[in-house]
Chains A and B, each alone.
Chain A
């Protein structure tokens, strides 16, 4: 029996090549998209799971109570909490701490690079985490000062094919963490898997840091450490939490109860952590949902096509059903037969989809900024998920047509009085509306995503972004000692308009600083605004506007010790709605005291995802890390070459490591651009599949109406009249889809836009574009077939009938 089914299935597929290919291609693309999205989601959900102790690793989230009962939760926190946890809690089996990410220049002979992805880490690193050690002894690798563990790529970068173990790298200043020195390579590990919530190129021993700054290791007020703990099997988080207040009290950790902490499972770090100051990038559950939904949409559209085409072809199969019933086939036989046919089609599509995925995988990797190993495609989980999707798709897509076909009454079919039920047509139309509706939502979504990202690039951020060359010299002492002289050398270049230095630039790292400012009631209030340490020229060079008071000035020598400038948000945070009123108020901050002398207009020093928060601009040029040079428009390569020449003249020890401010600022939007690329591509696929389905349906309709078209032509209808006749029904459906889709798109995209503190307002034309594109695409698709039908010789079609 099955053989018979397969035979007839194959012959049917072959006989209706057009129909079969539309169905197979549509479904294959749908399945391929779905599989790519599964791979992406699978990768996103696989973060940190490679650690053997993954379920027993927790990390400390530090909480600081700020004004108005708001709490700031950061992963980045204080040092003494680590040893204290180990000492006080028997359930804490091990603790590993590491510094904030460090920039350091490393040198082996003539090879010198500034490394940006380095941590100082405890020697317990390998007891807690499971990075694969290729050479060296992990137990002792980070125990003594000035030792380093390199990843395989780093080892190759500095030592080529030589064995790096025991060799040394000359490290520059790791500002605030360690003084220059020779680091001995004690171990080499495999590159950190990309699905880690933090990655690095090298680890330096924490004892090096401790040697340089032993004081901060006992301070409950100094923030520069990530603390991860390995707990026992019997660990109970609720019980642990109960003991926290007593622990804090015992260690005098929380002055005025402002400090608190909690433990977060490491497996939540990438996807589910709400804490700030992460050691690496974090993912977005929302984007994951969006992609999952798009994947399902695409699959659904492909299924809808499948069902639509199959049921619309049911007339052709009706006779067969009638005959089979007359000679003894029962309901079950027929359902089974049509299911077999559909499943065969689905499995052919699935094989094609696998092939497509193999071809498309490199592009997907580029799009998603990920590396999917082949093993991630051909592993049991992915393949089982895929197989499950294929089977479910097959059953869903196959069952409807099968049930419809099997229900035909043989007597009607064989008598020729059979017509497809009106209900079936209604459903078919409904499905067209649905898939076009989805496509319109996706087109409108694409428009809005593009507009928002365009907006991110072109919003006035409140500071000068263009033509700003930023040199990162990583706090080099010699440079900072001669900063004014170096700046003057740059200023002499004809294309340099202005030069400034600072510890932070917009888009780059900045610390927070406990700062006391006199409140409206005359009381000193401590808060912790973001901190930019800057030189005198920073504010004018960056084009930052003053709204009250004045900028730092060489005319006021006391500025360096006794003045502070803040932004509007900070003035508001301290309770001054009129920034003028905070001018002259007392402040203390990191050992300085004096008066607030100016308030700058809020500028976006963080991405537009974030609201502008309170910021203090402290005059502290000797803490600088960056020199920012404002350039004339002109021959950029030549100017850069001249600047490089000046740089190598004044700081030969530091590589000329530069970026442009607009580009480096935009890097914050990498995840958004990635989202845009994936969203756009899959939306395109969805639309393509929807069109394919429409093409199939209209082809079929044209076939069905061949006789009618012939008669109309004989009676004098023009080609255009026929096109109109065939198109109008479909166009009506697309218009209904537009009406339904626009409110849905508005709602969904509004939710997405709310991820950005600053976002565009959705405009009517964004939806108009979506609607009109859907109409045009549908019309082109339909009229192609309609034209073909309209041009056919009516005599032939009438004779055939």
Chain B
């Protein structure tokens, strides 16, 4: 793990406004994530952890505060800058997998490479490589509905890493999986982390949190505790 911060968020404020009320989702939040670190974010439902993850992934805006990504202020990035940053640096793993139903396993994994204009032959090589890694190569021509939940999540992980992102954001990656499949996915993430990828994972599971280097606990939009996890390696 490097000592350099990959993510440095300071004084982050995020509100949700409806017609009648304004809810503070994140309140004066400060966090940092070092390069190569594996951080778990935990807390009860509604504490703002997914919002935080979305802000880190530039899927959502922050209302106040600063967000440095590799020392570059990205809080004010426009749509184009955000999508550029995302596609070159960040991979997402969602609880509900979010694979595109109309695309095969291969095509789903290939998609990020398409958006970064990787040539077809290179795409094929990289997709096959990553499918081998997540052990789903034999299912490459299947559609998502033809796979089990665990298999779908492995495809989702493959898609998240195919572009060799520096950062993987995982939102309850095992939430929809049984414990065996869940463990497999956590193992995959750990391997990626060991290979140098920074991981920020939102989870409810103390078990999953043990795979991380550090646990950030949140309540009501604020960080209440940071602890180094007793790292568990599968």
Interface residues, chain A, with chain B CB atoms under 8 Å away: 1, 4, 7-8, 11-12, 15, 319-320, 322-331, 333, 409-411, 414-415
Give the residue name and chain of the A residue nearest to B98 (CB): A323
Assess A327 versus B92: contact at CB under 8 Å? Given A411-B60, A414-B59.
Answer: yes
State whether A329 and B115 are in contact (beta carbons under 8 Å apart), knowing that A4-B107, A414-B59 are contacts in the complex. yes
B31 at the interface (CB under 8 A from A): no
- CB-CB < 8 A to A331: which residues of B? 79-80, 83
Taking CB atoms and an 8 Å cut-off, the chain B residues in 21-78 that contact chain A are: 50, 54, 57, 59-60
Q: Closest A residue to B112 by CB, please name it.
A: A327
Q: Does B132 contact A (CB under 8 A)?
A: no
Among B87, B98, B110, find the residue whose CB has the most chain A CB atoms closer than 10 A: B98
Chain B residues 112 to 161 lying within 8 A of chain A, measured CB to CB, are 112, 114-117, 159-160
Q: Which residues of B contact A329 (CB under 8 A)?
A: 83, 87, 115
Q: Is the CB of B103 within 8 A of A8?
A: yes
Q: Are B86 and A1 in contact (CB under 8 A)?
A: no
The 7 A-B pairs with the shortest beta carbon distances in the complex, nearest first, are: A328-B87, A330-B83, A328-B115, A411-B59, A11-B102, A411-B60, A327-B112
State whether B115 touches A333 (Cβ < 8 A): yes
- Is B100 at the interface (CB under 8 A from chain A)? yes
Q: Is B111 an interface residue (CB 8 A)?
A: yes
Q: Are B111 and A327 within 8 A (Cβ)?
A: yes
- CB neighbours (8 Å) of B163 from chain A are 328
Decide: A327 and B115 in contact? CB cutoff 8 A: yes
Among A7, A11, A333, A409, chain B packs the most CB atoms within 10 A around the CB of A11
Q: Is B211's CB within 8 Å of the partner chain A?
A: no
Q: Which B residue sits closest to A415, measured CB to CB?
A: B50
| Contact present for B83 and A322 (CB under 8 Å) | no
A323 touches B100 (CB 8 A): yes
Cα separation A476 to B87 with both chains bound (whole Å): 94
Q: Are B114 and A1 in contact (CB under 8 A)?
A: yes
Across-interface contacts of B111 in A (CB, < 8 A): 4, 324, 327
Q: Is the CB of A411 within 8 A of B54?
A: yes
Q: Which residue, of A1, A322, A324, has the highest number of chain B Cβ atoms within 10 A? A: A324
A8 to B117, CA, bound (A): 18
Which residues on B sit within 8 Å (CB–CB) of A320? Answer: 100-102
Known: A327-B86, A409-B59, A414-B94. 17 other contacts (CB 8 A): A1-B114, A4-B107, A12-B102, A323-B99, A325-B86, A326-B59, A327-B87, A328-B83, A328-B88, A328-B115, A328-B163, A330-B79, A330-B115, A331-B80, A411-B60, A414-B98, A415-B50
Which residues of chain A are near B94, meaning CB under 8 Å? 414
B84 at the interface (CB under 8 A from A): yes
Contact partner of A328 (CB less than 8 A), chosen from B54, B86, B99, B110, is: B86
The residue of chain A having its C-beta at the shortest distance from the C-beta of B81 within the complex is A330
Quick one: which of B57, B102, B110, B116 contacts A326, CB cutoff 8 A? B57
Q: How far is the CB of B19 from chain A (nearest CB, A)?
A: 12
Residues of the A chain whose Cβ atoms lie less than 8 Å from the Cβ of B159: 327
Chain B residues, Cβ within 8 Å of A15: 102
Q: In the complex, what's the smallest C-beta–C-beta distance from A15 to chain B, in angstroms? A: 7
Q: Are B103 and A326 in contact (CB under 8 A)?
A: no
Which positions in B face A, CB cutoff 8 Å? 50, 54, 57, 59-60, 79-80, 83-84, 86-88, 91-92, 94, 98-103, 107, 110-112, 114-117, 159-160, 163
Q: Complex: how many Å from CA A325 to CA B102?
A: 16
For the complex, give the distance between the alpha carbons of A90 and B230 in Å. 110
CB distance from B33 to the nearest CB of A (A): 19
A434 to chain B, nearest CB (A): 30
- How far apart are A11's CB and chain B's nearest CB, in angstroms? 4
Determine the residue in chain A with the shortest Cβ distance to B54: A411
Complex formed: what's the CA distance from A744 to B54 in Å?
52
Complex Cα–Cα for A322 and B59 (A): 9
Provide the residues of chain B in CB contact with A409, threshold 8 Å. 59-60
Distance between Cα atoms of A326 and B58 in the complex (Å) = 9
Which of A15, A320, A328, A330 counts the most B-chain CB atoms under 10 A from its CB? A328
Most buried by B among A8, A319, A326, A327: A327
Q: Which residue of B lies closest to A410 (CB)?
A: B59
Most buried by B among A320, A323, A326: A326
Please give me the residue from chain B that is nearest to A327 by CB atom: B112
Chain A positions within 8 Å of B86 at CB level: 325-328
CA distance A716 to B94 in the complex (A): 39
In this complex, what residue of B is CB-closest to A407? B79
* B107 touching A7, Cβ below 8 Å: yes
Q: Are B83 and A325 in contact (CB under 8 A)?
A: yes
| Minimum CB distance partner of A320 in chain B | B100
Tell me how far the C-beta of B119 lies from the nearest C-beta in chain A, rounded to whole angstroms. Answer: 12
Q: Would you give the shortest CB distance from B45 to chain A, in whole angstroms?
A: 13
Contact B114 A4, beta carbon cutoff 8 Å = yes
In the complex, how many angstroms separate the beta carbon of A411 from the nearest chain B beta carbon? 4
A330 touches which of B84, B103, B160 (Cβ 8 Å): B84
Q: Report yes or no: A326 in contact with B98, Cβ–Cβ below 8 A.
A: yes
The residues of A that contact B102 with a CB separation of less than 8 Å are 8, 11-12, 15, 320
